Structure 1
């Protein structure tokens, strides 16, 4: 079975949308002209090029395409004719979808050629407020004081684990990352061990975003009466965990340490889910009794929610990126009353120093460069 690959070109002209292999054009020309030389002339190509391409395609596909005999017109083989038939069938069926795909690509590229548009690529731990922010940015803030650049902001958000998000920032795959930490976590904690090696003093800047609540998502009515992680262990409840590297897994492990429990006390199987929504669905489907997640995900799935802890959701970018137009537009948008009001409508969320550039030491209680022996040359992040 041969696999298909699609390619497209950028052009100033208004030619029709086509998804077509050059081989089909060669076969069509040879068939219409009755010879390779005639087909080459019709296409504006040399005989040698057309002949060579036909032989290359025959070797690639493992079948003869054209039959040519001395004194007779060249003709397509049965296989060549079937390729032409398959092309006609596909074009007839897919023409509307091809045109729609072309239109969507053109809309996306229009942003690249519009100097007033700012695109910010963001890798982040999955978060309902970030999804809402993306839509809010597309609509544009409704307050009259909004600047023109704030109306032309597009957030290219790739949801991944918190750890992977910061790594993506450090590797240059994005200009901003999103991660979350429990409020009040101090020194020598799992949170510190996880995130401190990834955040560089003098290089990264923390931007305030939101506060949210994490808790147990349980079936309607909470039939097992689960109120704490200890209850999960005591009742041997089936628990849907998040994968290692996700911010919520770090939160869970931190809460387990605080409760003097171990992961094996509540995670007795290999059931892991990639997001808050997936955990909520697993509980709603009866595959698990509980899972850790945000209140908004529980509400959407029709579940009850038992709050366990509050956390801050942070945005982080390189200090050198702060003055980029896209980042400036984002900071302005985050500080608008319209956005702060919208965050308040999301269950379990509140705007917290939204859009403010903050020092790490202010928002990460375990961060203190003056006592950090692992980075003797680091300077405070002012």
Structure 2
């Protein structure tokens, strides 16, 4: 059975009919109506050579004859050609309402591209519940966030490779110079090249079963032989955070049963615990509350957005900054479990050196 592929054209105005056009069907219809290849070509404003070659190509592709090629006789369609035209008329008539609805949906989607007041911003970011809420809010105001969730390290690498306009990552306040966060992010961020934009404060902690039946209170409890931990993927900010917390607690990854497991998001971690596949996992409070699970808070962290300095004046970035500074966004953010925007200075351009004190510079020698 042959397959069907659909395509579309962008034009200032629609054609006279609402059909899905197909060049083979147009030629077959013209040959049937005109009675010759030359007259069909003239009616379609094609050359005889083009129409004749197209028909031969389609016959070879379909493995069937389309035209009765009797020299000196009126051109006519084969039975197969007639059946093709009949089947196409049936499909067009039956699917006309769906075709019209699809056409309208595509036109509405493309209307954004022709609207000078609408903007699209590509954002690669560590998984975060507040970003999903932000996307819903900004879309209603003409700013469309094309968000792709991935690990913080991968997101910033994508920013530096030019694959996105903005990246999202998270760290604790004033991370230490020799922390895992510093080792992972320092080489990806450059003062003078990147600009940091405040987004949100959020609570990270251990997601546990409802009512915390195992009485898990700290990372040390995860070292119990029967405890099953579910981890985030390598390169994610939450896994980097876990490495820092384990080091500070004097624990090694090998002491945690399940450290080598990998889940792609906070939601996936919460789902693993809700299904009974694991007992605990590091994640955001919003993911735990969404699944009706328990939550043991461990640390508050800043979620940052970062872009190249050269992109800061662009309409997309400026539109996002205005959204982040709006009262509407502050209200939305404060309603999410474990989030706040005031301390994170949402929408403010912040100092990389002040918030991420990882870089050291030689002091100039006195003259």
Q: TM-score category by the smaller chain?
A: 0.7 to 0.9
Change (3 A) 1:258 1:23: farther
* 1:119-198 equivalent positions in 2, closer than 5 A: 119-140=120-141, 152-198=142-188
Instruction: Select which of 281, 285, 292 maps to 1:295.
Output: 285
Query: CA-to-partner distance for each residue in 1:204-228, whole Å, 9 max, x for gaps?
Result: 0101111101122222122322223
Partner of 2:361, secondary structure, is helix
| Offset at residue 2 of structure 1 (A) | 5.7
Change (3 A) 1:300 1:260: same
Answer whether contact 2:233 2:263 (CA < 8 A) is retained. yes
In 2, the alpha carbon distance for the partners of 1:229 and 1:20 equals 63
Q: Which residue of 2 aligns with 1:286?
A: 276
Answer whether contact 1:31 1:76 (CA < 8 A) is retained. no
In 1, the alpha carbon distance for the partners of 2:270 and 2:169 equals 20
State whether structure 2 residue 246 is matched by structure 1 residue 256.
Answer: yes
Query: CA-to-partner distance for each residue in 1:17-70, whole Å, 9 max, x for gaps?
Result: 554432232233334444433432332222210111122223334444434233
State whether structure 2 residue 358 is matched by structure 1 residue 357.
Answer: no
| Offset at residue 254 of structure 1 (A) | 2.5
State whether structure 2 residue 359 is matched by structure 1 residue 368.
Answer: yes
Q: Which residue of 2 aligns with 1:36?
A: 37
Change (3 A) 1:64 1:129: same
Answer whether contact 1:281 1:301 (CA < 8 A) is retained. yes
In 2, the alpha carbon distance for the partners of 1:269 and 1:74 equals 72
Question: Greater Rg, structure 1 or structure 2?
Answer: 2
In 2, the alpha carbon distance for the partners of 1:46 and 1:208 equals 62
Instruction: Select which of 70, 73, 76 maps to 1:74.
Output: 76
In 2, the alpha carbon distance for the partners of 1:4 and 1:267 equals 51
| Offset at residue 328 of structure 1 (A) | 1.8
In 1, the alpha carbon distance for the partners of 2:169 and 2:266 equals 14
Q: Judge which range, 14-23 or 116-125, deviates more.
A: 14-23
| Offset at residue 341 of structure 1 (A) | 2.1
| Offset at residue 107 of structure 1 (A) | 2.2
In 2, the alpha carbon distance for the partners of 1:265 and 1:87 equals 66
| Offset at residue 130 of structure 1 (A) | 1.4
**Alignment root-mean-square deviation, CA:** 2.6
State whether structure 2 residue 226 is matched by structure 1 residue 225.
Answer: no
Partner of 1:242, secondary structure, is coil
In 1, the alpha carbon distance for the partners of 2:228 and 2:212 equals 13
Answer whether contact 1:34 1:75 (CA < 8 A) is retained. no
TM-score scaled by structure 2? Answer: 0.87
Partner of 1:222, secondary structure, is coil
Partner of 2:171, secondary structure, is strand
Q: Which residue of 1 aligns with 2:115?
A: 114
Query: Aligned pairs, how many?
Result: 359
TM-score scaled by structure 1? Answer: 0.84
Q: Judge which range, 317-326 or 330-339, deviates more.
A: 330-339
